[in-house]
Structure 1
Amino acid sequence: MSAGPELAGRLALVTGAGRGIGEAVVAALVEQGARVLATDLAPDGLAALAGKFGEQVVPRPLDVTDAAAVETLVAEAEHTLGPVDIAVNVAGILRSSDVVDLTDEDWAATFAVNANGVFHVSRSVARRMAGRARGSVVTVASNAAGIPRAGMAAYAASKAAAVMFTKCLGLEVAARGVRCNTVSPGSTLTDMQRALWSGSTDQEAAVRRVVEGDLASHRTGIPLGRIADPADIADAVVFLVSDRARHITMHDLYVDGGATLRA
């Protein structure tokens, strides 16, 4: 006899939920029975999620760079929807540029979302989770946090900051029953990835270049021979927030097909 969906009855907050990995995370959480507070800056993706999943998804606009807005949303959610059991930080931006051409604005904007946003959301939910002695936080980072990437210094540095922040938070709240982990994807077929191919008229060739690697940019290929689908990342997130991972915290799970050779 089936025990039912493993996340039934739990409330999950997902940032960057409107598309790509965030959208896939919402779908995977709903499939496992969770109710999801889906947040994003763009309303279109949220409306589509609500239309697809009905009452299982509660859409809310959110700018993760606004600490007050984050705190207001979490407080409101806890009052109207119930305790937040799961938080998944997916919201992120990529401003690619060589360092010598990187603007102050692009550096600051990248950290505002990719690092500050993770801090704002995680702090708000963790203080409540710790008081209840349960909860799970997962930050979607990047394998670029662990290996240099040409033209991606701001992105890589911001993701490295998010990884170490999440580990430090995990250390602080572990004794109070809260687990904090990160998932670090490699190249994944999302709008962010496609934007890196904006100068290419042949997407198949662009995919092949990523899979095979690029010696000129000191980039290794993907040993498994494929670019990840957002669902591959979502599956890893769902595992880490589930009771199957109850003894895992402060872990950085690479989901990159072996691209970094785990350097």
Structure 2
Amino acid sequence: MQQSEFAGAVAVVTGAGQGIGAAVARALVAEGAVVAAVDRNSGALAGLAAESSAVRPCVLDVTDSQAVDSAVELMEHQLGSIGVLVNAAGVLQPGPAVELGDRDWAETFAVNSTGVFHTSRAVGCRMAARGRGAIVTVGSNAAGVPRAGMAAYAASKAAATMFTRCLGLELARSGVRCNIVSPGSTDTGMQRALWGEDTEAAERRVIEGDLGAWRVGIPLGRIAAPADIAEAVVFLASDRARHITMHDLYVDGGATLRA
């Protein structure tokens, strides 16, 4: 991909303070975009912004609809028309479904689903009025295949996935494309929080699979790096994917057998 493809483009990336969101922000900057990096963690954003003047940090809680609307309006005023939105903000509250607390369930949906709605609505209406734009939501392969101990996360990602596809259908005639990238196990802080202290053994279990947890392994034999997911996101945001919309691209090393 040539750097000129995103040269001068304005992109918004939520969850940009760490993990996949940070990798997406870096990848878009490398392709020439100016990135409004959104996260609740001001310290993490400061570190990302220190890497490049093309990163414009925006401390924002995507669960606050009024704050999102105001932030998007300010971004367009200061940076120009937003051409790309990447919804990468996400939280994980693991645990058996019958033991999940109301607060855990609500927070998971507030960030993973409602946050996608807030940002996509605020940016999507502006893109539609201009007749162009690309929205990419970072989902999860857990949205399509049940995972023990991940009911809230999987359900919230499934909701975000279907919302993005419906949005893509509604905005297609306006020239706005909406797609999903669904990662499997990826080497991020969220993933490592599930592993405990023995990360080497935990990583091996993920790759090999766990019949006791009704989970197949990863046929490609490796955990994804955040950059692997970022590459897929950048492709779907680019003009090289100009005839792709409402697509859900699994980037999981074959872990779900694309069930």
* TM-score, structure 2 normalization: 0.99
Sequence identity (%) = 66
Corresponding residue SS for 1:232? helix
Q: State the shift of 1:210 in Å.
A: 0.2
Corresponding residue SS for 1:37? strand
Q: State the shift of 1:5 in Å.
A: 3.1
* 1:157 to 2:168 alignment: no
Alignment partners' CA distance in 2, 1:83 and 1:3: 21
Alignment partners' CA distance in 1, 2:222 and 2:128: 39
Q: What does residue 21 of structure 1 align with? A: 20
After superposition, the Cα gap between the structure-2 partners of 1:254 and 1:131, relative to the gap in structure 1 and judged at 3 Å, is same
Give the RMSD, CA atoms, in angstroms.
Answer: 0.9
Corresponding residue SS for 1:228? coil
Alignment partners' CA distance in 1, 2:3 and 2:91: 36
Q: State the shift of 1:3 in Å.
A: 5.8
* 1:112 to 2:110 alignment: yes
Corresponding residue SS for 2:125? helix
* 1:248 to 2:244 alignment: yes
Code of the residue aligned with 2:214 in structure 1: it is H
Alignment partners' CA distance in 1, 2:64 and 2:115: 8
Q: What does residue 38 of structure 2 align with? A: 39
- Contact kept in structure 1, 2:93 and 2:108, CA below 8 Å: yes
Q: State the shift of 1:100 in Å.
A: 1.2
Alignment partners' CA distance in 2, 1:245 and 1:176: 16
Q: What does residue 216 of structure 1 align with? A: 212
Alignment partners' CA distance in 2, 1:40 and 1:3: 28
Q: State the shift of 1:32 in Å.
A: 0.5
- Contact kept in structure 2, 1:5 and 1:31, CA below 8 Å: no
Alignment partners' CA distance in 2, 1:86 and 1:169: 15
Alignment partners' CA distance in 2, 1:146 and 1:253: 12
- Contact kept in structure 2, 1:15 and 1:91, CA below 8 Å: yes
Code of the residue aligned with 2:111 in structure 1: it is V
Alignment partners' CA distance in 2, 1:78 and 1:100: 44
Alignment partners' CA distance in 1, 2:123 and 2:98: 38
Code of the residue aligned with 1:225 in structure 2: it is G
Q: State the shift of 1:79 in Å.
A: 1.1
Q: What does residue 230 of structure 1 align with? A: 226
- Contact kept in structure 2, 1:143 and 1:185, CA below 8 Å: yes
Corresponding residue SS for 1:5? helix
Q: How many pairs align?
A: 259
Task: Spell out the pairing of 1:116-131 with structure 2 (5 A cutoff).
Answer: 116-131=114-129
* TM-score, structure 1 normalization: 0.97
- Contact kept in structure 2, 1:110 and 1:155, CA below 8 Å: yes
Q: State the shift of 1:95 in Å.
A: 0.1
Alignment partners' CA distance in 1, 2:98 and 2:169: 36
- Contact kept in structure 2, 1:171 and 1:250, CA below 8 Å: yes
Alignment partners' CA distance in 1, 2:173 and 2:243: 12
Corresponding residue SS for 1:85? strand
* 1:144 to 2:130 alignment: no
Q: What does residue 51 of structure 2 align with? A: 52
After superposition, the Cα gap between the structure-2 partners of 1:43 and 1:142, relative to the gap in structure 1 and judged at 3 Å, is same
Q: What does residue 197 of structure 1 align with? A: 195
Alignment partners' CA distance in 2, 1:100 and 1:73: 37
- Contact kept in structure 2, 1:38 and 1:58, CA below 8 Å: yes
Q: State the shift of 1:4 in Å.
A: 4.0
